[in-house]
Structure 1
Amino acid sequence: MFEGITPIWFFAFAALQGVILVVDEVVFHWRRGLPRWERWGHPVDTFCFLLPLVTLWWSQEAGVLYWILTVVSCLMITKDERHHAELASGGEQWLHALLFLLHPVVLIFATIPGVRDASAFPWLLIGVAALGLYQIGYWNLVRH
């Protein structure tokens, strides 16, 4: 399935997803603020994204569990869109659309042979976990 595709593709798409997420956070979220459901919804999304990746890193035999967690994660990130339709600007909704496209791509590309063994993979996991902690801390303790 991934013949000729190297782990660099995974890291490139993950980096692109990260950049778009930071732009969404800094340009849109900081400006409009986040209601309570969104202050907790974002860390849930982040945790649901992290869980399949940790499962893959933990066990090369993750198999079906990885794909179940991936599908749950892809569905979970859409949970707030009915609210975003009322609160978010067109630019923010466009960034969300890009993130919705990249989310499954990153999780699928994580299964490219060599990704989980790359020295950067644990750092990516730490970065995603740090994002989740930031989301909890900043939006629920600092700026609530």
Structure 2
Amino acid sequence: MAHSLVGFYGMLGDMRRLRDLIPESYVNDAALRQKGEDDHSIGLLSGDDDCPAFDRLWKYCRGYDGGSLAAACTLVDGAFDIAINWSGSIHHASSCKASGFCYVNDIVLAINEFLGSFRRVIYVDIDSHRDDSVQNAFVDS
């Protein structure tokens, strides 16, 4: 829907699509990945019904997290002034557990990328409830 709106307003010509992959070391492979045919799946980590395993889940997670990481990298490199991941802000997962319909936390990945080049990063969450997973990821810094 967002892509359609951008196209309706004639802005697609001003945008470039980026692709990247999340670093595999971010997730605990032994806990998250189950061997699949051509792909990997992420296991049911939360113990709740809000994070079920489904076909090509690993590919899905790499897609949305890769989008946020690619966006952060282009901003750090100075290639772009603005970067958007329409499927991003999957921010309730922690590095050891899926939670709240979120399997891997793309916000933490992006912030870590920024912190490699910038001393401070501000994260503003406009969701309707507190985002404890991002807070917990940086509680000691």
Establish whether TM, by shorter chain, passes 0.5: no
Larger helix share, 1 or 2: 1
TM-score, structure 2 normalization: 0.35
